[in-house]
Amino acid sequence: MSPRKSVVEAAATRTRIIERALTLGAVNGLEGLTIGHLATDLGMSKAGVIGHFGTKEALQLAVVDEAVERFRARVPGHALGARPGLERLSRAFEEWIAYMTEDEEHRGCFLTSVAMEYDERPGPIRDVILTALARWTDYVTAELDEAVTAGELPHDTDIPQLVFELGGIALAVQQAILLNRDPSAADRGRRAIRRILNKPTPQVLGS
């Protein structure tokens, strides 16, 4: 076997491990992801699985990194063609909700689930999640700033409040889908987002 072929095959195996870990993690949680279960599911040895990452935490970080990249490509990535401001922001949240509901077997947003799982667990995994969420907040804030500049929102719009409320809707949709199995969750989320963006909350002076 040539060195080049060996590297390509190793990369393909690593990708296959991460793909399967994402699927299992969506069901059992990232912390519930075990090397033994993953190895059995893939038809590999435990050493064969862990050998691609070194530690379980490194594997978990690789899974989170992949989840972040998928979110970026699926949500803001699909909204790129929309006009900056409210149109693009509305499209991004529409894409997020669609992302939560398009997989019949594993519904919800994996990254959102992991963020809730690690919200009180300090460490590298939580740090990566915080960085990803901070980038999303910056994205939403930038689109709202653009909307204010374009006159789509009042100049005194409380942007941090809107960011908070929009994020709250997404979390509510996630819970309604996963916990309540509510078939109307996606539609309710879309309606709530449209209502907030069409009727923004003005900033209260002195608050």
Answer whether residue 206 is part of any domain. no
pLDDT of residue 199: 66
pLDDT, tens digit (0-9, with 9 covering 90-100), for 22-67: 988 888 899 988 899 999 999 999 999 999 999 999 999 999 999 9
> 79: which residues sit within 8 A by CB, 6+ positions away?
88, 89, 91, 92, 95
* Residue 101, in any domain of the structure: yes
**25 located within any domain:** no
Determine contact, residues 196/166, Cβ cutoff 8 Å.
Answer: yes
The chain-wide mean pLDDT, for the chain, equals 90
What residue numbers bound the domain in which 139 lies? 55-198
Does pTM surpass 0.85?
yes
* Diameter of the chain measured on Cα atoms: 70
pLDDT tier at 4, thresholds 50, 70, 90: low
Q: What pLDDT score was predicted for residue 206?
A: 43
202: pLDDT strictly greater than 90? no
The confidence score (pLDDT) of residue 200 equals 57
Number of compact structural domains in the chain = 1
Does residue 126 carry a pLDDT above 90?
Answer: yes
pLDDT of residue 115: 92
Distance in angstroms between the alpha carbons of the first and the last residue of the chain: 68
Q: Which residues pair with 157 in a beta bridge?
A: 202
CB atoms near residue 125 (< 10 Å): 19
- Domain assignment present for 112: yes
Residue 177 domain flag = yes
User: Do residues 173 and 188 touch, judged by C-beta distance below 8 A?
Assistant: yes
Domain-located, residue 10: no
Q: Does residue 134 lie within any of the structural domains? A: yes
Answer yes or no: are the C-beta atoms of 204 and 160 closer than 8 Å: no
CB 119 within 8 A of CB 113: no
Residue pair 148/154 in contact by the 8 Å Cβ criterion: yes
| Torsion angles phi and psi, residue 154, rounded to 5 | -60, 150
Report the CATH number that the domain containing residue 182 is assigned in CATH. 1.10.357.10
Contacts of 41 (CB under 8 A, 6+ apart): 20, 24
Give the pLDDT of residue 27: 84
Q: Average pLDDT of 1-7?
A: 62
Tokens of 13: 């195996």
Q: What is the pLDDT of residue 3?
A: 58
Structure tokens that stand for 195 in this block: 């209502």
Quick check: is 203 in a domain? no
Dump pLDDT digits (tens) for 95-105: 999 999 987 66
pLDDT-derived band at 80, boundaries 50, 70, 90: very high
Determine contact, residues 176/107, Cβ cutoff 8 Å: no
